[in-house]
Structure 1
Amino acid sequence: MPTIQRFPGFKVCMYADDENPPHVHVLSADWEAKIRLDDLEVIAGEIDRRALEIFRRWASEAGTAGMLRARWSALNERG
């Protein structure tokens, strides 16, 4: 599972050959959440409110949003 970004206390990861919809896994020692890329909503698990705010701010940046979609496509090619 490639780590895409590290923040103090949590990290953002993406699995290869994962199920749709496109998403990331945001993990800490105490929780894990699956967050959909299209709208940055939590679709499974739990996440600290502050970590979710930090993640959403980072993931909303134009360059980051495009990078996350490109990484998803590269790791989840269905050929």
Structure 2
Amino acid sequence: MPEISRFYGIVIRMYYDEHPPPHFHALYGEDEVLININTLAIVSGKLPGRAMGLVMEWALLHQKELKQLWEKARNLEPLGKIEPLQ
């Protein structure tokens, strides 16, 4: 699963040819959450409060890029990286 960003110990990944709805995975330590790209709602899982807030802030800033990467992943194209949260 390609890593598309990393910041503050949080790893953002996206699988190739994954099931809908469009989503990404955020991992922090042993915790993982799946976030719907279109709505930014939690699909499943959880992260500690501070980490979850950082992921949501990052996702809001990069929602358009996430949608583009989702389409690339569905087409099995190279994904590249998205800027980390500063």
1:18 and 2:44 correspond: no
Tell me how far 1:71 sits from its aligned partner.
Answer: 0.4
Q: Which amino acid aligns with 2:38?
A: D
Which among 71, 74, 77 is matched to residue 73 of structure 1?
71
Q: Which amino acid aligns with 1:71?
A: L
Name the CA distance, whole Å, in 2 between partners of 1:28 and 1:65: 20
Describe how 1:1-79 pairs up with structure 2 within 5 A: 1-61=1-61, 64-77=62-75
Structural RMSD (CA):
1.4
Name the CA distance, whole Å, in 2 between partners of 1:17 and 1:56: 23
| Aligned-partner SS, 1:60 | helix
Q: TM-score, normalised by structure 1?
A: 0.87
More relative contact order, 1 or 2 (CA 8 Å, 6+ apart): 2
Task: Count how many residue pairs are aligned between Structure 1 and Structure 2.
Answer: 76
Q: TM-score, normalised by structure 2?
A: 0.80
Contact 2:33 2:45 in 1 (8 A): yes
Q: Which amino acid aligns with 1:56?
A: M
- Note the residue ranges of structure 2 that are not aligned, 5 or more in a row: 77-86
Percent of residue pairs identical: 32
